[in-house]
């Protein structure tokens, strides 16, 4: 077995198999694809903040012991320098505080590369990251939901929404990463099949209603602050957003109205002129122009108090104004 690199040597390794794959939220030297052995990726962990609420939790991935010996769970390894590693790990501990433990596992790379048909060609795998840090939630944590029929898990994901946006976006991003690596994950594939059935059963959206908005989960990791709201193409949740009672209002500038209505852009804090009402994150609000006319509605990413503190601010200044770290 070939080996290189060690978290006890010159670098530290972090292995991500969920949201870390597409949004690490920290600086790194380089990254590469790899896998851990005898563990499987499962949507068994509850999310009561970023992908759901305490009353309606979403589901995110964790790890469980695989049914078959030799099972591979592919993900992304991030290489970070030892200097500053403690600060990065502290921020990840906070980000993963919803029931996740930090453990160490060996990560391997195939001499043939990742892929559905990768059987290592009879050659030994490469131990590419010895003792990499991995976060996972087991059955002892309070947000653990555990196994359920795939149709039930998919339905819960399809209907859940939290601070970081629709739960379905999380699943879609995991699936995109598997496609990028050309890796087949049976659990993800089965959930995606059920999601497609749910989408086909969705009633058509009435285009005469104000355009619904959602938080955007496709922003690059270099832009950690969430937009207030963002246009979404999916029909998911549109009917409830169009007919629900708004808990408050955000008055925006003329440039914001044009960008949102005509270009489908995100609503940024810099465009906000006034906040009306008291509401919490994920609650439904109305977006008004300077004349008070409602032209959009959506589930907001911040509370009314937070928005009042960041209105008019540039995105780079939002974390310091709120004093918050917003992870997945």
Q: Which residues are catalytic?
A: 96
Distance CA 100, CA 310 (A): 30
**Among the listed residues 251, 299, 219, the one whose alpha carbon sits nearest the alpha carbon of residue 19:** 219
**CB 269 within 8 Å of CB 311:** yes
Integer Cα distance of 230 and 271 in angstroms:
13
Question: Rounded distance, CA 19 to CA 59, Å?
Answer: 12
- Strand runs (DSSP E) across the chain, as ranges? 2-3, 11-16, 30-37, 39-47, 58-65, 72-81, 101-109, 126-136, 161-162, 165-166, 211-214, 230-231, 249-252, 272-276, 284-288, 294-299
C-alpha 154/C-alpha 198 separation (Å) is 9
Q: Are 40 and 187 in contact (CB under 8 A)?
A: yes
Backbone torsions φ then ψ of 250, nearest 5 degrees: -120, 125
- Return the DSSP state at 124: P
Burial (Cβ within 10 Å: 0-12, 13-18, ≥19) of residue 42: buried
């Amino acid at each position: 077995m070939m080996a290189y690199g060690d978290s006890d040597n010159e670098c530290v390794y972090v292995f991500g198999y969920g949201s870390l794959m597409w949004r690490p939220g920290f600086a790194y030297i380089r990254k590469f694809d790899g896998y851990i052995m005898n563990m499987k990726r499962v949507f068994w962990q509850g999310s009561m903040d970023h992908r759901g609420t305490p009353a309606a939790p979403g589901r995110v991935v964790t790890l469980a012991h695989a049914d078959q010996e030799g099972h591979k769970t592919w993900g992304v390894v991030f290489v970070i320098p030892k200097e500053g590693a403690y600060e990065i790990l502290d921020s990840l501990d906070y980000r993963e505080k919803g029931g996740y433990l930090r453990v160490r596992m060996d990560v391997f790379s195939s001499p043939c590369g990742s892929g559905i048909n990768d059987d290592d060609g009879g050659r030994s795998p490469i131990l590419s990251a010895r003792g990499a840090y991995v976060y996972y939630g087991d059955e002892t944590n309070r947000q653990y939901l555990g196994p359920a029929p795939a149709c039930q898990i998919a339905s819960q994901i399809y209907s859940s929404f939290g601070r970081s946006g629709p739960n379905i976006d999380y699943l879609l991003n995991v699936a995109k990463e598997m496609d990028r690596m050309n890796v087949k994950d049976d659990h993800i594939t089965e959930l995606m099949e059920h999601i497609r059935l749910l989408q086909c059963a969705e009633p058509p959206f009435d285009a005469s209603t104000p355009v619904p908005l959602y938080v955007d989960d496709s922003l690059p990791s270099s832009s950690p602050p969430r937009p207030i709201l963002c246009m979404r193409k999916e029909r998911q949740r549109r009917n409830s957003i169009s007919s629900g009672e708004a808990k408050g209002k955000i008055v925006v500038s003329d440039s914001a109205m044009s960008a949102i209505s005509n270009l489908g852009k995100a609503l940024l804090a810099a465009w906000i002129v006034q906040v009306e009402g008291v509401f919490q994150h994920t609650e439904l609000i109305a977006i008004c122009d300077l004349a008070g006319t409602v032209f959009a509605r959506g589930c907001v990413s911040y509370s009314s108090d937070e928005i009042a503190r960041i209105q008019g601010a540039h995105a780079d200044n939002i974390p310091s104004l709120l004093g918050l770290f917003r992870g997945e």
